């Protein structure tokens, strides 16, 4: 027995020594076991937050650009069918490159045709012959033909190179180049004008608060965010909309990614139509029709949702429709906060302090969901209604008992009343 004990002890020492050497020489990766949901919920908060926290991918970025890329588009010819919109949507560097290339190619193309006409007619061989009438005077090579093409299409007309009446093919080419040049000018200048006058830059001066807040307003739990216009020229017919972006699963088991749900910001009352002269706080009442009806303060950080807000209107200076967008994820929704006022009354005017536009301050707000608050309010009202109804029932029962106990007195009273009536008649 002692020999067996010594043997086992030596084996364990060897194994421990090997394991120590292995730990020193090569790092060992320890894989954490996958825990069930109930076990993960029972973990301490600091551990569960570190392990379960993950970044929420935005659907719309804070600057309003949609974070969606279209891939595997096979029907690319559809972009060419609407070439004007395709050119307008291109970035400025590509648009300017196409602008320069279109004019350069057309000038080179027609310059090559002018040179071919002169070469075929033999004008190159009679450059210094005063008795020869060329198609274009003073055209002695491709460079001069290219310059004449530029002068013809841009209607510069320096007067040094002139087409003669002895060249019918040149006259036809002159008509064609003039018409096509006008079309190219109208198309390219139109693209540049539309791209320059796009109201996208106007949306840069329409600002949204960096955070949305949830607090009580008029005794109701509300979700609020603030919008403002930095320019003195206002947005005409401004309107605000809000969408909730959240994946859902139907009762049939269908998974709908990034499902869009309307958030009522005053559509039925007309509060969604704004007079955006000073910053306004847009409010959404959390009621039974609201998607936030069952969300409490503790549950809000666990939700994977995004609120997309859209402000639309016409630019007062140009009359073009402008749209500004922004979004709020769960980490940007503050529960129990309000916006700091930014409008003050000065001597003869109102002043807006945009330094406080994004500032908020904490206020007392229940951490329960709107549904739980409504249930508590209904429970608080039930005993009162029961007491009133019970008192009414008791009073009715007492009256019936008194009528049953004293039927004779009531008949005597009725008889007395009848005698009095008869006496009055006599």
Structure tokens at 130: 């005063």
pLDDT at 138: 87
CA dist., res. 307 & res. 58, Å (int): 10
pLDDT at 166: 86
Phi, psi of 287, rounded to the nearest 5 degrees: -120, -165
pLDDT tens profile 402-419: 555 555 454 444 444 344
Average pLDDT per block of 10 residues along the chain, 426 residues long: 47 44 38 41 42 69 88 79 86 92 95 93 84 88 92 85 89 93 92 84 89 94 95 90 93 91 92 93 94 94 93 87 93 95 91 94 94 89 46 51 54 44 41
As its CATH architecture, domain 201-373 has: Sandwich (2.60)
For the beta carbon of residue 357, count every other beta carbon within 10 angstroms.
Answer: 19
Which residue has tokens 């086992």? 8
Domain range 79-197, CATH class: mainly alpha
Which residue has tokens 């009442």? 285
CA dist., res. 75 & res. 10, Å (int): 74
Neighbour-count burial of 322, counting CB atoms closer than 10 A to its CB (0-12 exposed, 13-18 middle, 19+ buried): buried
Phi, psi of 159, rounded to the nearest 5 degrees: 95, -5
pLDDT tens profile 297-309: 999 999 999 999 9
Structure tokens at 276: 């955006």
Domain spans, the chain: 79-197, 201-373
pLDDT at 364: 93
> Under a CB-based contact definition with an 8 Å cutoff, are residues 117 and 111 in contact?
no
pLDDT at 54: 57
CA dist., res. 93 & res. 389, Å (int): 79
């Amino acid at each position: 027995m002692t020999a067996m004990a010594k043997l086992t002890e030596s084996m364990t020492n060897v194994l421990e020594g090997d394991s120590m050497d292995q730990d020193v020489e090569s790092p060992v990766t320890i894989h954490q076991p996958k825990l069930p949901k109930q076990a993960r919920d029972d973990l301490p908060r600091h551990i569960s937050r570190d392990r379960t926290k993950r970044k929420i991918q935005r659907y719309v970025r804070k600057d309003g650009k949609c974070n969606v890329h279209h891939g595997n588009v096979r029907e690319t010819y559809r972009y060419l069918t609407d070439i004007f919109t395709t050119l307008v949507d291109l970035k400025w560097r590509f648009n300017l490159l196409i602008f320069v290339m279109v004019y350069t190619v057309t000038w080179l193309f027609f310059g090559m045709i002018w040179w071919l006409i002169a070469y075929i007619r033999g004008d190159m061989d009679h450059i210094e012959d005063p008795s020869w009438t060329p198609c274009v005077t003073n055209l002695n090579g491709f460079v001069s033909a290219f310059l004449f093409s530029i002068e013809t299409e841009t209607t510069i007309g320096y007067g040094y190179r002139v087409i003669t009446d002895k060249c019918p093919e040149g006259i036809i080419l002159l008509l064609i180049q003039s018409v096509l040049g006008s079309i190219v000018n109208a198309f390219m200048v139109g693209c540049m004008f539309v791209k320059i006058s796009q109201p996208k830059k106007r949306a840069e001066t329409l600002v949204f608060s960096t955070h949305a807040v949830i607090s009580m307003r008029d005794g109701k739990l509300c979700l609020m965010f603030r919008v403002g216009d930095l320019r003195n020229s206002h947005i005409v017919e401004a309107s605000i909309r809000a969408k909730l972006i959240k994946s859902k699963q139907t009762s049939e088991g269908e998974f709908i990614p990034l499902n869009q749900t309307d958030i009522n910001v005053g559509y039925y009352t007309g509060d969604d139509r704004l007079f955006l002269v000073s910053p306004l706080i847009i409010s959404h009442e959390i009621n039974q029709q609201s998607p936030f009806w069952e969300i409490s303060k503790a549950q809000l950080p666990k939700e994977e949702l995004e609120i997309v807000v859209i402000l639309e209107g016409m630019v007062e200076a140009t009359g073009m429709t402008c749209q500004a967008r922004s979004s709020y994820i769960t980490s940007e929704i503050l529960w129990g906060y309000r916006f700091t006022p930014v409008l003050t009354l000065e001597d003869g005017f109102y002043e807006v302090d945009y330094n406080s536009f994004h500032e908020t301050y904490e206020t007392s707000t229940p951490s329960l969901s709107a549904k739980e608050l409504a249930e508590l309010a209904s429970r608080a009202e039930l005993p009162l209604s029961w007491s009133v109804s019970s008192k009414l029932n008791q009073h009715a029962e007492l009256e019936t008992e008194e009528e049953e106990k004293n039927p004779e007195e009531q008949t005597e009273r009725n008889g007395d009343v009848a005698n009095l009536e008869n006496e009055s008649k006599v």
